[in-house]
Structure 1
Amino acid sequence: MFKKPKITYKSSVEFIIYSLVLVYCIFQGAIYSPDSPSYINANSYRSAGYPIFVRAIKLIFQNYFDFFLVLIQAFLGLFAVYILVLKVERLLKLNFLLKLIFIGLLIFPFFAPLEVANNVTSEGLSYPMYLFFLAFSIDFLLNETRKSFLFLLASYTLLVLTRGQFLMLPIVIAIVYVFKYKATIFKRIFLTRLLVFLLAPLALVLLDKTYQQLKDGLFISTPFTYINASASALYVSEADDVYSFDNEDYQNIYKDCHTFLEENNWLMSSKERASYGDYYKDFHLNLGKICNLTLHQRGTEYYVNKGYPIEEASYQIEMAAKGMYPVLVKNNFNKWIHLNYSNFIHGFKSQFLFFLILAIMIFAAFKSIFNAHKYIYILLFLSALIISNGMAVALASHSIMRYLFYNYSLFFLIFVLIFKYIKDVRNS
């Protein structure tokens, strides 16, 4: 006979927390933002994951779409929280208070201002997938089971098809994996899994291109990557950079965009400021106007006027941004690197916190060279995740909560890990 699960005061408190969050989300209802229609309509610049997700729910539930979308997103998100908490609790043997704090940090995005379960945007799916990815990555790095490896890959695939900012996550795992299994890494099983991690981003790029081919007839990556990244390069650019382009279309687009930016005072040169921190604040406020309203909109119109269909015009301006980006960075590198550093630090809120996480990562990497404690490998993994995601966001866009909230709970975990590690070392 099966034993009935033991219901305790602590498990009852957790159940009540999850239930209250679920009820809160349901009563809030669906929230539509300016981005929502582009997901529902599967616009060419949206990755496959969320548009397919919302269309499937729309097809099944019809007029009850809003209710069931929120219900499914909330339930999926809370289940992901539960799974991650379960894995971390087993790793760190958290006491009840620490466990509640961790749960609180993980459910924070369900409330304002993010409201991930209610917003009809990709975070409703990407946040649960990221938590699943974390849970199965931790399990894999500690136990190296086939099941955790497969679940890790599955959650990564769904995550990247929803938000491309996480494309390079397997590289972080691969680095930690090499540190942990350095003595046996060339054995067949370890080498095979390492190669899977290294090749996974390429496989996802091909999968993304296949989706675009099936949807729009163009074998291309989802546009907007270089348009977003080019915003910082355009912000620091000068009018005479136009002479650095050999392509006539690029010259015409750049001249038009730079003139428009100059007229609207959306360039670094528009006003002298006291520091790069101040320049970043100006860039932060105007990024959408630079990449969306200017480069994307005016560039797409340029190619449409040349006779391209709208989908191909979007692709052409993405390729134009890809061509202009390295040239503008090279021409204005000093200004660009200072602006991006300010962008990166803005995501950490202080240089002290960044250098603290960097020091922890370096310490964990150094300790991992030797026969390290299991906590060291997870410290290396979590600190590398925080820094790599911060760098990816700073290079591609601006450091806002919407792109960075995924890792907020990891700061707490890192400090708990350090405390547990010190305690274990003292007791050994």
Structure 2
Amino acid sequence: MKWFKQKSNIVVGILFLITCLSVLRKPIVYFPDSTGYLEVYLIRSAGYPMFLKLIQFIFGSYFEFGLIATQLLIGLASIYFFVKAIQKHFNIGLLLLTLLTIALLFPYYFNGRIANNVLSEALSYALYIAVITRFVNFFVKHEKKQLVLALPILFLLLTVRTQFFYLILVAILMIFWVLIKHKQWKSYRIILGLYMLLPIVTIFVDKTYHKIAHNHFVSTPWTGIHLAAPAYYVSDADDEAIFTDPEEKELFRKIHQQLVEEKLNITIPVNREVESLTSRYISNYTTVANKTIYKLSDAHFDSNLSENERFILVDSINKKMAFPLAMHNFKKWFKLYYGNVIFGFSSIEYLLLNVFILLFSLVMLFKRNDVLSRIISLLLLCSLGNVLAISIGIHAVFRYTFYNDWVIFLVVFLLLTYWGKYKKSEENNNKLHSESSVF
């Protein structure tokens, strides 16, 4: 065992060294969204802008190098502890451990090179892996302190990207599972209460941050646009009747008419050989949300208001209108949502594969409650939960879904390891049986 740990540390160290050389030789990359983080826009939540301010304070004129190096080191540390946790709990072989590490390192090489970007993904990916590590440690060993350690990391993650609110539900489900199995109700009351309070605390901190930074005690305004985009896309002209407020009626009329003119509405037929109603929405999401809903909503309000005040009003009115609009067209909205979920998993086959393995692992969890079923159930639940959460509004593109691309690799590795151990155990039993038969 000691030999294996030494070998695995050497292999992981080599992979990390190669990653460092690859990342550090590439320049930093700025995106249109980078400005919002660097200049602390109202529509950006606190986590990443404050992280950038800290890097600027520490590194000064060496900000770009400092940011790349820090984002990389935080990510590598999270990956290292996760890999070691899996090795500890399941004892996978050196080859599979190497492949798992490579899969976790993919975002630093391909599809974005997250450590080199001035975007929140690098920080949120590292924090996400750190939270999952604590969750795995808790669910396998039922060590309450692991949930306690996960709590501040999850809080930081939520200040960076709110899409991970579903992890609170995952934590609560794990706690209830342990409570049902071990009936330790009193010992988990405090930690259960803390996780239930976490959304309230996160929202309050977010509002307080905006009060200090922008003089407005509001949640980060942009959720309304995300929720309104699919609702407007599936609407028709008659939906104006569901709004009683004249201001809402007028705004709906403007936005719906503009989307129809741009052929970005579900009532406009598509060429089935080229695209589907869902793919048209996904490929034109920015036009629907930013260039149409936001711009027309912004122009709807008094131009004498400050930009931040209009942001807040735009978010508020669209958040208010999105729900009744979606419910009035629920079948069409759900069809779009389902298509967005499929897109998040790349294909219906891959989605069904994930769902099937999750259901199978849950059955095994109830029947056997072993390490294999616990880890697979947890990881696939988190993977599915992420896509289900973001697909409610945002188009499920790589930027929001890559966090769990490694999960299916680990599931396969765990199943291969389990099958290998099972076959070896079966061969040993057959050998013992044959030897006893001789005597």
TM-score between both structures, scaled by the size of structure 2: 0.90
**Cross-structure match for 2:11:** 13
**Cross-structure match for 1:325:** 322
Measure the CA separation in 2 of the matches of 1:42 and 1:133: 26
Matched position secondary structure for 2:30: coil
Identify which of 165, 175, 184 aligns with 2:163: 165
**Cross-structure match for 1:141:** 139
| CA spacing shift, 1:423–1:190, aligned 2, 3 Å | farther
Letter of the structure 1 residue corresponding to residue 325 of structure 2: L
Identify which of 21, 24, 36 aligns with 1:23: 21
Measure the CA separation in 2 of the matches of 1:186 and 1:234: 48
Structure with the greater alpha carbon radius of gyration: 2
CA contact (8 A) 2:11 2:98 kept: no
Measure the CA separation in 2 of the matches of 1:424 and 1:8: 22
| CA spacing shift, 1:350–1:100, aligned 2, 3 Å | same
**Cross-structure match for 1:379:** 376
Measure the CA separation in 2 of the matches of 1:20 and 1:36: 27
- Report the RMSD for the aligned CA atoms in angstroms: 2.4
CA contact (8 A) 1:168 1:201 kept: no
| Alignment gaps of 5+ in structure 1 | none
Residue 251 (1) aligns with residue 238 (2): no
Matched position secondary structure for 1:182: helix
State the Cα distance separating 1:207 from its structure 2 match: 1.9
TM-score between both structures, scaled by the size of structure 1: 0.92
Pairwise mapping of residues 94-133 of structure 1 onto structure 2 (< 5 A)? 94-133=92-131
CA contact (8 A) 1:226 1:321 kept: yes
CA contact (8 A) 1:26 1:70 kept: yes
Q: Deviations over 1:239-259 (max 9, x none)?
A: 221221112222222222222
State the Cα distance separating 1:346 from its structure 2 match: 1.2
| CA spacing shift, 1:231–1:185, aligned 2, 3 Å | farther
Pairwise mapping of residues 201-212 of structure 1 onto structure 2 (< 5 A)? 201-212=199-210
Identify which of 149, 161, 173 aligns with 1:151: 149
Measure the CA separation in 2 of the matches of 1:276 and 1:385: 33
CA contact (8 A) 1:276 1:338 kept: no
**Cross-structure match for 1:86:** 84
| Alignment gaps of 5+ in structure 2 | 427-439
Residue 403 (1) aligns with residue 400 (2): yes
More moved, 63-72 vs 185-194: 185-194
Pairwise mapping of residues 144-293 of structure 1 onto structure 2 (< 5 A)? 144-185=142-183, 187-274=185-272, 278-293=276-291
| CA spacing shift, 1:258–1:338, aligned 2, 3 Å | same
Letter of the structure 2 residue corresponding to residue 397 of structure 1: I
More moved, 17-26 vs 369-378: 369-378
Residue 60 (1) aligns with residue 58 (2): yes
Identify which of 328, 335, 339 aligns with 2:336: 339
Aligned-pair identity (%): 26
Q: Deviations over 1:67-120 (max 9, x none)?
A: 111111111111111111111111121111101110111110002321110000
Q: Deviations over 1:16-35 (max 9, x none)?
A: 22112112211112100111
CA contact (8 A) 2:142 2:178 kept: no
CA contact (8 A) 2:8 2:97 kept: no
Measure the CA separation in 2 of the matches of 1:365 and 1:180: 14
Q: What number of residue pairs does the alignment pair up?
A: 424
More moved, 271-280 vs 389-398: 271-280
Matched position secondary structure for 2:402: helix
CA contact (8 A) 1:228 1:396 kept: yes
State the Cα distance separating 1:147 from its structure 2 match: 4.1
Measure the CA separation in 2 of the matches of 1:374 and 1:87: 12
Matched position secondary structure for 1:43: coil
Letter of the structure 2 residue corresponding to residue 313 of structure 1: R
| CA spacing shift, 1:183–1:83, aligned 2, 3 Å | closer
State the Cα distance separating 1:180 from its structure 2 match: 3.2
Measure the CA separation in 2 of the matches of 1:365 and 1:6: 31
Residue 41 (1) aligns with residue 39 (2): yes
More moved, 371-380 vs 319-328: 371-380
Measure the CA separation in 1 of the matches of 2:97 and 2:420: 18
**Cross-structure match for 1:355:** 352
CA contact (8 A) 2:166 2:389 kept: no
State the Cα distance separating 1:276 from its structure 2 match: 12
Q: Deviations over 1:146-198 (max 9, x none)?
A: 54223211210111100010012021122133223314445211233223223
CA contact (8 A) 2:364 2:373 kept: yes
